[in-house]
Structure 1
Amino acid sequence: MTHPHNERPVNPMPPVVVALFLVMAGVELVFNLAERGLVGGRSAVGWRIEGWERFGFSDKVFEWMIATGEWPVEHVIRFVAYVFVHANFTHGIFAMVILLAMGKIVAEALGAWKFVVIYFGTSIVGALAYGVALDDPRILIGAYPPAYGLIGGFTYFMWAKLGALGAPQITAFRLIGMLLVVQFLFALLLGGDNSWVAELAGFAAGFAITVLLVPGGWSRFLDLVRRN
């Protein structure tokens, strides 16, 4: 039995979430220091742009792979590598905050390997949606599609909990609704791109994958739908 005085006031962050955060933060730190001229010399100023070009998801590259039937590793890896490069420090830090907040909930509820499936599964789905639905020459970068995927997983937990309690399940979608409104306002004020397509696809995929990974899976989901 654990003595109350020895209990931690806050549950520790799941190691898999910490590891992913450290990799992402490390990449951003290197880019930030390079831009300030603190590492790498003069040529390092362009490291971030080189990172976009090398690891960002490109619709042009995607269409070339489909047309030629060739799928080289250095291009296939873009489906997951793009989440580790960001436009700037602010762009990266918000994605990392969502990772820590939502990742803790999802990883604690489902476990490490299921968290990894959701995170990188939604990264791939987000990139595919961006490539299939659009013909955008701009490169997709940033961890927001899988971040929205984690929000999709969290939304399923809330939806299932509200359904079990007999409460209105539509309120489970309040968070994603608020985020989409905020994103729309930012796009109106500051201008935006089409990354919302990948993010919305990431959310939907996160919700769907979580349905399949939770105990009971699809049958539990159908049962909750029938009861409500």
Structure 2
Amino acid sequence: MFQKLPKSIVILAAIIGGIEFLFSLSESAPIFGLTGEDLRLVAMRDFGFWNQIFTAQISTFNIINKESIRLFTYAFIHVNFVASVFSVVFTLAFGNLLARYANDLQIIAFFLVSSFFGALGYGFLLDESFPLLGSSPGFFGFVGGFIFLLALQYLEGKKEFDGFFAVPVFL
């Protein structure tokens, strides 16, 4: 009846949900000496993708350093509980679509590469003082990967998803 979720999707969702669980838990008891929103703010400061840091890296040609990890870590930190829940749900749903055509390693690669390019786009195209946070680029990478792989199958003559191409028209 239900398709079994791949381990990679469950792991990504568990990391996103687990971090949010720590933030929620810190509301009632200190974690790492921080309580409530302080823990979230420290995580945003230390792991969010800040445009100012990225601009400094590019302008000094010091691209590969300890700050480069932010190109990936921002995807696991969210602004609030609701954003985190939506990210978990969309990661599970869209990742499961992609799992029909990709293995666990490819799924994680889609997520991380999409997050990487999301950060690059944010860094090069926008001049924001608020950090980039959340896994939206990662799970939208799942959607793009699914549509790309589906289109390849369609071009090969497999027409099992003809109706899927009508969905964007209605959106």
Q: Deviations over 1:96-141 (max 9, x none)?
A: 1011011122123210111111110000011101111111111000
Task: Considering Cα pairs closer than 8 Å and 6+ residues apart, tell me whether 1 or 2 has the greater RCO.
Answer: 2
Partner of 1:204: none
Larger Rg: 1
**Residue 151 in 1 paired to residue 143 in 2?**
yes
Letter in 2 for 1:32: S
Partner of 1:182: none
Task: Name the CA distance, whole Å, in 1 between partners of 2:57 and 2:25.
Answer: 34
SS in 2 for 1:150: helix
SS in 2 for 1:137: coil
SS in 2 for 1:77: helix
Task: Name the CA distance, whole Å, in 2 between partners of 1:113 and 1:101.
Answer: 17
Output the TM-score relative to the length of structure 2: 0.86
Partner of 1:62: 54
**Residue 173 in 1 paired to residue 164 in 2?**
no
Q: 1:37 aligns with which of 28, 35, 48?
A: 28
Output the TM-score relative to the length of structure 1: 0.66
Q: Deviations over 1:58-105 (max 9, x none)?
A: 111011001112235431000010011001110011011011011122
Q: Deviations over 1:115-169 (max 9, x none)?
A: 1111100000111011111111110000011111111122234445566439588
SS in 1 for 2:115: helix
1:38 Cα shift? 2.8
Q: Deviations over 1:30-81 (max 9, x none)?
A: 01111x2234387322010111111111111011001112235431000010
1:22 Cα shift? 1.1
Residue pair 1:107, 1:115 contacting (<8 A) in 2 also = yes
Q: 2:9 aligns with which of 14, 17, 41?
A: 17
Unaligned runs of 5+ in 1: 1-8, 179-228
Task: Name the CA distance, whole Å, in 2 between partners of 1:170 and 1:21.
Answer: 27
Which structure: greater helix fraction? 1
**Residue 136 in 1 paired to residue 155 in 2?**
no
Indicate the larger mover: 155-164 or 117-126: 155-164
Residue pair 2:29, 2:35 contacting (<8 A) in 1 also = no
SS in 1 for 2:3: coil
Identity %: 25
1:170 Cα shift? 5.0
Residue pair 1:159, 1:169 contacting (<8 A) in 2 also = no
Runs of 4+ aligned structure 1 residues displaced above 6 Å come to none
